[in-house]
Structure 1
Amino acid sequence: MRRRKPRSFQRVYQHHLETAPRTAEIPAVDGLPINESHPVGFEGLYATPEATGYGKATCAKCGETHNGWTPIRAGQWKCRCGETTNDDQMQIVGKAEYDLEQRLKRNGKSNGHKPTPTTDPPADEDWTNDEWYTPADIIQRVRAFMGEIDVDPASCDYAQRTVQAKTYYTRQTDGLIREWHGRVWLNPPYSYPLVERFTVELLRQYRQGIVKEAIVLVNNRTDAAWFQSLLVTAEATQFVSGRINFERKGLQTSANRQGQVFFYVGSRAVEYSMAFGDMGAVMRCMWGQKKA
């Protein structure tokens, strides 16, 4: 007898949503409903029947952004590459895009015509699903503190409407192969391995004296090696209170599900603390490997 191929969790759950009554229980993992054992991933990937599978998540190991994640033991998800990620570290993308698509469909249906996008994607779009633009109020603080931003090594034309760095590099001009002279603002792509490559390059150029000082904005990933390298090199580390409302072009919400951290790399940690202290706790590095 020919054996049937096992169905994926996503297909099973989609079938459950389509056929089960509204009062049916949510599927369980390790004896817990997945909305309790995997709340972040559940909300982003499976929360509503009409949006089943709309969300995608970025794997910190392979760097790919996709759906089809498998919930395993309570609080963890398994990527297609085999790597596991804690639920509270899932970088979910796609919900805002899905909501926008549904609004366009509804508007098109009511108007009797097929909806069309209001704007075309920019030609210089850098990293798919990695476009998290820093709010203008934060950039104003950075500029006021450093005087000017000499280099933004991971940027695009759209972001520079706010950042206004003297020199900036995009995906096409590749900041990873350039020298970042002077004062640097770095809000790197958050997917792996790009976030590691940019932060490692920053520290390398700082140790060589090319970068004079820098402010780095990244997700709170204390378990990552690149994060630890920043932690023991930066003169000041600031865990942001609350969530930063990043700008995403064409979307009304950033759907930010991560906490953020500022790192100040330079010799003015006290001044940094005075300028940014109201945004969260600032700690100075007193241990680890410091700049030679």
Structure 2
Amino acid sequence: MHTANKLVTLPASRLGVHSSSATPEWETPRALFEELSAIYGPFTLDPCATQDNAKCARFFTRETDGLTQPWDGKVFMNPPYGRAIGKWVSKAYEESRRGALVVCLLPARTDTRWWQDYVRRGYVHFLKGRLRFGAARHAAPFPSAIVAFGRFFSD
């Protein structure tokens, strides 16, 4: 991760790569996931996970490609933050129209096409400050938002 034009060395851990700019995968902070679970109830699917950072018992990895799988139940999505993020947000919106509740952790990039086309259709909550993902030593270089698509339900 770059901060003020200096390279920051992350601590060696199995999660360090998920917090660097070398990957589009940013591990969801555990406390945030637990808070969202308390609000929305237990999540049943994590469609954008790795073996090491999955937040749900049922999850899809890059190999099982969550973009091509059906989603149902209560879905927690922290998508890869690269160029494909628009595809993930579109998928979240479309799966909510099929009955899933999809709660997304997204960078607050209000000027992007995917934000304008899909996020504005959901329930948006901007997070205060900047998140610290995974084992990162520093907070993210961008603000974040929680976006929920679908009908809110409990069970």
| Runs of 4+ that moved beyond 3 A | 118-121
Size of the aligned set, in residue pairs, is 148
* Alpha carbons 2:110, 2:116 under 8 Å: kept: yes
Q: Share of identical aligned residues, percent?
A: 24
| AA in 1 matched with 2:89 | T
2:4 match: 43
CA distance in 2, matches of 1:133, 1:254: 13
> Which residue of the other structure, out of 228, 233, 241, is the alignment partner of 2:128?
241
* Cα drift, residue 42 of structure 1: 8.3
CA distance in 2, matches of 1:240, 1:120: 26
> Which residue of the other structure, out of 89, 92, 96, is the alignment partner of 1:202?
92
Unaligned runs of 5+ in 1: 1-40, 48-94, 102-117, 122-126, 270-292
Change (3 A) 1:131 1:168: same
TM-score normalized by structure 1? Answer: 0.46
* Cα drift, residue 147 of structure 1: 2.1
> Which residue of the other structure, out of 136, 142, 147, is the alignment partner of 1:258?
142
Matches within 5 A, 1:145-224: 145-160=39-54, 163=55, 165-192=56-83, 194-209=84-99, 211=100, 213-224=101-112
| AA in 1 matched with 2:33 | I
CA distance in 2, matches of 1:226, 1:100: 30
- Specify the SS of the correspondent of 2:103: strand
Unaligned runs of 5+ in 2: 16-20
- Specify the SS of the correspondent of 2:147: strand
- Specify the SS of the correspondent of 1:138: helix
- With CA pairs under 8 Å and 6+ residues apart, which has the higher RCO, 1 or 2? 2
* Alpha carbons 1:153, 1:170 under 8 Å: kept: yes
* Cα drift, residue 176 of structure 1: 0.8
1:232 match: 120
RMSD after superposition:
2.7
* Cα drift, residue 131 of structure 1: 2.5
Change (3 A) 1:138 1:157: same
| Bigger helix share | 1
